[in-house]
Structure 1
């Protein structure tokens, strides 16, 4: 980075982009936010007001927070002296191809170009860039909301430079996130693939009438969610094997688990089934306002983070590229 507090351009001011902007500003960075939405300034004010108490609980200075964030309508003006660009545009390959071509032209040559893409690997939208441009583009995929949830999946493209990966890891660590470098590109990366695998079976169980949406959520919150928030699936399984560890688990319980794999569901999700599922979820949660639900979620997530200690140990996989 060129300064102690780099200048960051946040492109796209949806839920993720607004959360990123609050986090970066909370760490003393100068932030420019670009989005064509007509209510950009109001959206930023609201997001910063909502995020400020969360940032304060993380020990960040929220004094003059809004003064560090500037809404900018023009993309070129937003990125002209940026050290880091965090893109949060639509999940559309053609859109990202055009946008990143513009970013390579308009951002300074040293600027790190990061995408919050949820599923599209960067190699899918950097094919027309020269090596120098593609070399500084990579995925920095957060979990919502990024100013609270620590993980950032750092996924290099086929031509991303080792230096860009190193800088991305250093940047995300500097704002208190936990970056994990993934070794191969795969659609959806790791976090969303795991989330989708669980969601697929959850939908199947609701479709089959085994449980309703609220009951399924209660099961996860009071079992897997609780366990995985502290140890994750593999360490959880290792401990589940007792003194014999994962070997005992694999040898003695593994066969029955593998038999269960064959019965896992593939929801049909026809239009009629989709509508029934939507109605069931709305029946469980639709009576409460969105803001009330998100505030409750954020309050609980902060409590979990406090219990775990936000000084999370460095993730073990931090090599740049083999």
Structure 2
């Protein structure tokens, strides 16, 4: 199934994550429609974009990239996320995929989306999306597969690394892994087993950081290494 070409993106909310998305979209040559109820949002967004833009210039811009290819619209009457998503579901074209960067259980987000709930998804970046490429796309029982494919394909077109997460936990996959690792590292340091510096070496050494836990374990299996190295 082919991924539709996206030329225009709408962003609601210009906080740190929203502004980061906007910077990435502009650098990839997309037109961005921006809206935020904060009267200071336009000035704050402009400052963020001008600060972030030099890094995109160094990395390489799309031919159509423009720092000014966005327009700001006012937002009135939208006070709650669920109501907002329901309004978007009602008013946007049928093929439009609606993604929320705020993590949570998708069923809770789509409970008031009675029009086309199958296109409402979570697209949660693990950090600022213009800096780190991992995006967790969480689906729910009503998700239509073509919309999930469109979302992951769109994120890949931006240079992202989308992960498909099945619903079943409040915490997203990356958050759960980080919580488990942080819990163990804090415990080891607190008990004086290892130092903070040593934990840093373990986590950034070329094991998990290079190939992930499963591939690393496979390479470490007896008799495997000689055949690979």
TM, length-normalised to structure 2: 0.84
Which stretch of structure 1 is more off in the superposition, 39-48 or 165-174?
39-48
> 1:209 deviation in Å?
5.2
The structure with more helix, counted as a fraction of residues: 1
Question: How far is the alpha carbon of 1:60 from its aligned partner?
Answer: 1.6
Task: Tell me which residue corresponds to 1:303.
Answer: none
Task: Tell me the residue number matched to 2:192.
Answer: 210
Report the 3-state secondary structure (helix = DSSP H, G, I; strand = E; otherwise coil) of the residue aligned with 1:28: coil
Give the Å deviation of 1:146: 0.5
- Say whether 1:151 aligns with 2:134: yes
Question: Which sections of structure 1, spanning at least 5 residues, go unmatched?
Answer: 77-93, 246-322
Three-state SS of the structure 2 residue aligned to 1:135 is helix
Q: Is the 8 A contact 1:156 1:185 kept in 2?
A: no
| Structure 1 residues 2 and 72, CA gap change in structure 2 (3 angstroms) | farther
**Structure 1 stretches of at least 4 aligned residues deviating more than 6 Å after TM superposition:** none
Within the alignment, does 1:117 sit opposite 2:102 as a pair?
yes
1:159 Cα shift? Answer: 0.4
CA distance in 1, matches of 2:183, 2:63: 40
Q: What per-residue deviation string (whole Å, max 9, x for no partner) do you get for residues 250-283 of structure 1?
A: xxxxxxxxxxxxxxxxxxxxxxxxxxxxxxxxxx
Deviation at 1:2, TM superposition (A): 11
Displacement of 1:20 in angstroms is 0.5
How far residue 186 of structure 1 moved from its aligned partner, in angstroms, is 1.8
| Gapped regions of structure 2 (runs ≥ 5) | none
Q: Counterpart of 1:65 in 2: which secondary structure?
A: coil
Q: CA deviation at 1:62?
A: 8.2
Q: Deviations over 1:105-154 (max 9, x none)?
A: 23223211001123x12112212322x42111011111211012111111
Give the superposed CA RMSD.
Answer: 2.9
* CA gap 1:53/1:228 in 2 versus in 1, 3 angstroms: farther
- Give the secondary structure class of the aligned counterpart of 1:243: coil
Confirm whether residue 14 of structure 1 aligns to residue 15 of structure 2.
yes
1:127 aligns with 2:107: no
Counterpart for residue 69 of structure 1: 70
Q: Could you tell me how far 1:64 is from its partner in structure 2?
A: 6.4
Q: 1:164 aligns with which of 147, 163, 185?
A: 147
Q: Does 1:243 align with 2:226?
A: no
**DSSP 3-state at the match of 2:217:** helix
- Aligned residues, how many? 223
Contact 2:140–2:166, Cα closer than 8 Å, also in 1? no
Contact 2:185 2:199 in 1 (8 A): no
Q: Deviations over 1:63-109 (max 9, x none)?
A: 86321122222269xxxxxxxxxxxxxxxxx9332221121123223
Q: Counterparts of 1:181-220 in structure 2 under 5 Å? A: 181-205=164-188, 208=190, 210=192, 215-216=195-196, 218-220=197-199
Q: How does 1:228-307 map to 2 (within 5 A)?
A: 228-243=208-223
Q: Give the structure 1 partner of residue 204 of structure 2.
A: 225
Q: Report what 2:87 is aligned to.
A: 102
**Do the aligned partners of 1:10 and 1:21 also contact (CA within 8 Å) in 2?**
yes
TM-superposed deviation, 1:242: 4.5
**1:138 to 1:63, Cα distance in 2 relative to 1, 3 A:** closer
